[in-house]
Amino acid sequence: MLTTADGRTLVVRSGVMADARDVRRLIDAVAAEPGVPLLATPGSISLRDVKGLIAKGARDPGSVFLVAEVAGRMAGNLGGSGLAFAPSAHVFEFGMSVDAAYRGVGVGAALLEAALAWAAGAGFTRVELSVFPHNTRAIAFYERHGFTFEGSRPRRFRRAGRYFDEQLMGRTLGAAAEPAAAGSAAAGSATTAAAPATTAAAPATPGAGMV
């Protein structure tokens, strides 16, 4: 059994349809924070969108949707899937968000560890995410979990009339992957591979939430 740093019961499990309203409320609450941790704005993610992600996680062997509960209350979510582009089918992308009341007690770490274990078991060998550069707390969290900075895209997103840069992070899973092809071809493919990061787990990326 998992527990938070302050001793509360923590459960990480696959999302079900009954979670949809609570997940949507959580995303809206995080999206409304003044620090702008998410690309989503309050109300931009519909209940139908959330149900679609939960359904995809249940039926698609290359997708997952997880929720975290602390003492029976919704505390966080993580959703992601593999890239549809065949040469990058080994890459898993995700996004996550954690309610402000449950940050700093291990909820984000539990969600991430569960997702990485799932991705490895599903055969993925690389994981990528997208985060806003100003979300330094999330960046530090992912660095502690083995993710490294891999590039940025200036003014990649427009949210509520403001432009935001995108920072790309990634890491390998399991045994060391084969060496990447050298030269500009490898660098060019990285841009293409990362493009779906804004849609793979739309409610939670970029920004990857607060943890």
pTM for the full predicted model: 0.84
User: What percentage of the chain has pLDDT greater than the value 70?
Assistant: 82
Q: Which two tokens stand for residue 76?
A: 């966080």
User: H or E element: which one contains 92?
Assistant: strand 91-98
2-204 maps to which CATH number?
3.40.630.30
Nearest to 112 by CA among 82, 88, 146: 146
Cα 17 from Cα 21, distance rounded (Å): 9
Which pLDDT belongs to residue 110? 98
The DSSP call for residue 201 is: T
Q: State the pLDDT confidence band at 206, using cuts at 50, 70 and 90.
A: very low
Quick check: bond before 206 cis, omega within 30? yes
DSSP per residue, 11-23: EEEE--GGGHHHH
Of 13-17, 50-54, 182-186, minimum mean pLDDT range: 182-186
Q: What is the mean pLDDT of residues 67-88?
A: 98
| 193: pLDDT strictly greater than 60 | no
Residue 148 pLDDT exceeds 70:
yes
Q: Please state, in angstroms and as integers, the Cα–Cα distance from residue 139 to each residue in 76, 103, 133, 145, 166, following that order.
A: 17, 14, 8, 10, 12
Confidence at 197, pLDDT banded by 50, 70, 90:
very low
pLDDT value at residue 1: 83
| pLDDT classification of 208: cutoffs 50, 70, 90 | low
Cβ(115)–Cβ(94) below 8 Å: yes
* Domain regions of the chain by residue span: 2-204
Min mean pLDDT across 45-59, 67-81, 105-119, 195-209 is at 195-209
Helix, strand, coil content of the chain in percent (nearest 5):
35, 30, 35
**Highest averaged pLDDT of the listed ranges 62-66, 158-162, 180-184:** 62-66
Task: Identify the pLDDT of residue 196.
Answer: 27
